[in-house]
Homo-oligomer: A and B are copies of this chain.
Amino acid sequence: MAKKPVNEAGDGRTRLISTALRLFAEKGFDGVTVRDIATASDVSVGLINHHFGSKEGLRTAVDDQFIRQFEEALFWEPKKQEPGRATTEDFAATVDEWISRHQDTWPDTANYFRRALLEESDWGFAIFARFYAIVQKSVTKMDADGVLGAQVDRLWLPFLMMYLELGTLLLDPYIKRTIGKSGFETDLWRRRHRAYTDLIRRGVVKRAVEPKA
């Protein structure tokens, strides 16, 4: 080999972070050894501690990069809305758009997120809280606009909506094994989107105000 002129995928530090993200996503933090990561990144073990102090430090760096990647979607704010129109769709649409823009790295991202949520990391909660605030706000808005039925449980609705929104993220491996393809494949994902909004709207919106089919 030549003189190791900063690998095609960046320097050691960069490669370590992106490789670790992928491996953590695949096998979980405890399921990967520092040697695995080093080998896959084509660097020596020592470099991990050189750059990040410890394996835990590497995890932090990975988390940071992950969150930075996600910020865009996370700090989304609802734009001006025409009253009477369900704003939940805007949120879903933003997420969809974000996903399609990151399609190449999406599988890793999804898996990493899945594990973070299930491992109950602090930043996993931060992301959850952020999601919750958005959905919650959207529900409040709908309520203020008078499109929510009287019987609707204002406490549970946001959570149920999050279940529907996060369900594919958390359970996609099982979707895949059940129907043979990922729920994130473009056509399926689009269908899911329609099914989801239809379920929400027709279940939640008062019949009198219900939009034309």
Q: Which residues of A contact B (CB under 8 A)?
A: 28, 30-31, 114-115, 117-120, 124-125, 128-129, 132, 149, 151-153, 155-157, 159-160, 162-164, 166-168, 170-171, 173-175, 177-179, 183, 191-192, 194-196, 198-204, 207, 213
Closest to A170 in B: B170
Q: How far is the CB of A142 from chain B (nearest CB, A)?
A: 14
Q: How far is the CB of A30 from chain B (nearest CB, A)?
A: 4
Q: How far is the CB of A168 from chain B (nearest CB, A)?
A: 8
Q: Which residues of B contact A167 (CB under 8 A)?
A: 159-160, 162-164, 166-167
B166 and A164 within 8 A (CB)? no
A203 and B198 within 8 A (CB)? yes
A115 interface neighbour in B118, B124, B159, Cβ under 8 Å? B118
Measured CA separation A167–B202 after assembly (Å)? 21
Q: Which residues of B contact A195 (CB under 8 A)?
A: 152-153, 156-157, 160
B115 and A151 within 8 A (CB)? no
B171 and A117 within 8 A (CB)? yes
Measured CA separation A168–B201 after assembly (Å)? 21
Measured CA separation A31–B115 after assembly (Å)? 14
Residue with the greatest number of chain B CB neighbours at <10 A, chosen from A155, A156, A213: A156
Q: Which residues of B contact A170 (CB under 8 A)?
A: 117-118, 170
Closest to A210 in B: B207
Measured CA separation A3–B114 after assembly (Å)? 48
Q: Which residues of B contact A156 (CB under 8 A)?
A: 191-192, 195-196
A163 interface neighbour in B151, B163, B203, Cβ under 8 Å? B163
Closest to A122 in B: B177
Q: A203-B199, A207-B207 are in contact. Are A163 and B157 (CB under 8 A)?
A: no
